Amino acid sequence: MKLTKKMQSALVIEENIQLLKCPICSAEMEMEEHARLVCENKHSFDLAKSGYVNLAPQAHSTKYDKSLFEARTAVMNSGYFEPVLENIIARLNGHLAEIERPVLLDAGCGEGTHLHVVHSQMPTGSVGVGIDLAKEGIVAASKAYTGIVWSVADLAAMPFADGSIDAILNILSPANYAEFDRLLKPGGMLIKVVPESGYLQELREVFYDGKQQKEEADPVAKASEHFDAVETERVTYEFELPNGLLEPLIRMTPLTWGASEEKVREALEMGMNYITIDLRVIVGVRR
């Protein structure tokens, strides 16, 4: 008999139960009846039918909704991010080669495709954990991909034990260095991906007349304050847009939030054959 998604996921979580801690009181957790996580103070968190668990202390509404994550999945499955993911996979497998059953956390995993792709290229037995505060992202991730621990959680207060993680991915998502420090084992690796000036410039030209948006304070300097051996690499390429991909691309990116439907229509009518991907991969090692 084929196991349900919830059961498959319960088994993966059970195998890795030592990673988890209660988001309310920080106590260790146990799995009850393959259906819920419970701590010794009786805080209890049900597994959803699709297998994810909500460990965010309170409900959050974010700007990331279901249609946005559907658009993101369509784009991510098109090969759009392939060169970046290959770069990440090579770095991770190099760094984690000696570690048995390494644990990889994607902090701000969205709809989960990147973590799924990276995890599928790691040695058998590697553990993948994906968290995001947007429930719709985690719902989509857990429906699409099994064999990974998916949880709604805040990356500013992650429900995992100190020193339990071998590598953290943080792709186009906010960082929380205090949490990354706490969770990584000494020698553990952080791989953060941030946009560079050319990222999606063709869309920027339509929606912002080419103007730069405000970026967060220098992410490389920030990472160097917390991590050793900080190395960065800029990954730039032109991605040829397959038919039908421009619309999901426009819908998925915060760049176009707030744009009028008229502007979106204008961009679609104009068409685009390719889009520039310009990202920086920042790699640090925990002291």
Helices (H), the chain: 5-15, 66-76, 82-96, 113-120, 135-144, 177-183, 201-208, 219-226, 246-252, 261-270
Can you tell me the distance from the alpha carbon of 60 to that of 268, in angstroms, rounded to the nearest whole number? 32
In the bound complex, what is the minimum distance in angstroms from residue 172's beta carbon to ligand SAM?
Answer: 4
Pairing state between β 44-46 and 53-54: unpaired
- Contact of residue 102 among Zn ion, ligand SAM, none (CB under 5-8 Å per partner type): none
Q: Please, which residues have CB within 8 angstroms of residue 87's CB and are 6 or more apart in sequence? A: 233, 235, 281
DSSP code at position 33: T
Binding flag, residue 132, ligand SAM (CB under 6 A): yes
Q: Dump the DSSP string for 221-287.
A: HHHHHHEEEEEEEEEEEEEEPPTT-HHHHHHH-GGGTT--HHHHHHHHHH--SEEEEEEEEEEEEE-
| Shortest Cβ 1–ligand SAM spacing (Å) | 34
Q: Which stretch binds ligand SAM (CB under 6 A): 88-96, 131-139, 209-217, 266-274?
A: 131-139
> Could you say which of Zn ion, ligand SAM, none residue 39 binds, taking C-beta under 5 to 8 angstroms by partner kind?
Zn ion
What DSSP designation does 31 have?
E
For ligand SAM, which is the closer residue by CB, 137 or 188?
A: 137
Say if residues 219 and 172 touch (Cβ distance below 8 Å): no
CB atoms within 10 A of CB 14: 12
Stretch that binds ligand SAM, among 40-48, 170-178, 218-226, 233-241 (CB under 6 A): 170-178
Q: Which of 31, 155, 189, 283 binds ligand SAM (CB under 6 A)?
A: 155
DSSP state of 174: -
> What is the closest distance, in whole angstroms, from the C-beta atom of residue 235 to ligand SAM in the complex?
14
d(CA 208, CA 210): 5
Least separation in angstroms between residue 23's CB and Zn ion is: 8
Residue in the structure block whose two tokens are 């993948």: 128
Q: Which stretch binds ligand SAM (CB under 6 A): 13-21, 128-136, 159-167, 180-188?
A: 128-136
**Least distance to Zn ion from the beta carbon of 28, Å?**
9
Residues of this chain, 54-113, that bind ligand SAM according to CB under 6 A: 62, 64, 72, 108-110
Q: Whole-number minimum distance, CB 135 to ligand SAM, in Å?
A: 9
**C-alpha torsion angle, residues 58, 62, 68, 69 (rounded to 10):** -30
Residue 166 interface partner, choices Zn ion, ligand SAM, none, CB cut-off 5-8 Å depending on type: none
Say whether residue 41 binds Zn ion (CB under 5 A): yes
Of 31-39, 48-56, 93-101, 166-174, the window that binds Zn ion (rule: CB under 5 A) is 31-39
Binding site for ligand SAM (CB under 6 A): 62, 64, 72, 108-110, 114, 132-134, 137, 154-156, 171-174
